[in-house]
Amino acid sequence: MQSNHIEVQATQMYVCKYRSDDLDVSWASKGLSVSVANGEAILILQRHIFDDGFENLDIIPLGADKVLVRSNGNDDVSKVLLSAT
């Protein structure tokens, strides 16, 4: 009797782990995670914000419809955004 052996290789998944330091936390705390409405393209959104006089805000794409709005100065982002409404 002949034996058929099928060899199965184990697969491993590599998961990147990241541990933030105090500088990372400080940097991220100066921003807000925001959802972009109406499927607006991020580059167009960045242009609108700059054209409206908010040169000190950075718009950083996070994926899908999310961006990080961050001040490149010492401004409070939430106060800047509230003043625009």
- The residues, any chain, with a CB within 8 Å of residue 34's CB and separated by 6 or more, are 66, 67, 68, 69
Q: Is the pLDDT of residue 6 over 80?
A: no
Sheet holding 66-71, edge to edge: 31-35, 66-71, 57-63
Buried b (16+ CB within 10 A) or exposed e, 59-78: beeeeeeebbbbbeeeeebe
pLDDT band at 9 (very low <50, low <70, confident <90, very high): low
pLDDT band at 66 (very low <50, low <70, confident <90, very high): confident
Average pLDDT, the chain: 81
